[in-house]
Amino acid sequence: CPTPSSLRTGNGTRICAQLYADDSPYYEQCCGGAALVVPPGSDVPYMPVGWGATVSSLVVATRCELTVWSRAGKKGKSRRFTA
């Protein structure tokens, strides 16, 4: 997985979080498959098509916080992730 301080796009723009579709019990094989980029200041109450119940690994950048909910529309239980 990338380090929290290294999360940037190809052109150097800062990323707040990156979510991955594939996971593994072995750390060096985590953060694989398709990736969903979360830019700073994003407020997305619904996951993009094809991402519901798909995320298995994530990395949150330093000075960022990612809050997720168990149900669509920011409903249900929430959990916060930081670097």
Q: What was the pLDDT predicted at 12?
A: 87
Domain annotation covers residue 5: no
Domain annotation covers residue 52: yes
Q: What is the pLDDT along the chain (83 residues), one digit of tens a residue?
A: 889 999 998 898 899 999 998 877 777 778 888 999 999 999 988 888 988 888 888 999 999 999 999 998 999 999 999 99
d(CA 61, CA 54): 20
Domain annotation covers residue 69: yes
Domain annotation covers residue 2: no
Structure tokens at 12: 């150097």
Question: Whole-prediction pTM value?
Answer: 0.85
Spatial strand order of the sheet with 57-60 comes to 32-38, 17-22, 57-60
Q: What was the pLDDT predicted at 40?
A: 93
Structure tokens at 75: 């409903």
Domain annotation covers residue 39: yes
Domain annotation covers residue 4: no
With contact defined as beta carbons under 8 Å apart, do 35 and 18 qualify? yes
Domain annotation covers residue 12: no
Domain annotation covers residue 29: yes
> Parallel, antiparallel, or unpaired for β 32-38 and 65-71?
unpaired
Structure tokens at 61: 């950048």
Q: Total structural domains in the chain?
A: 1
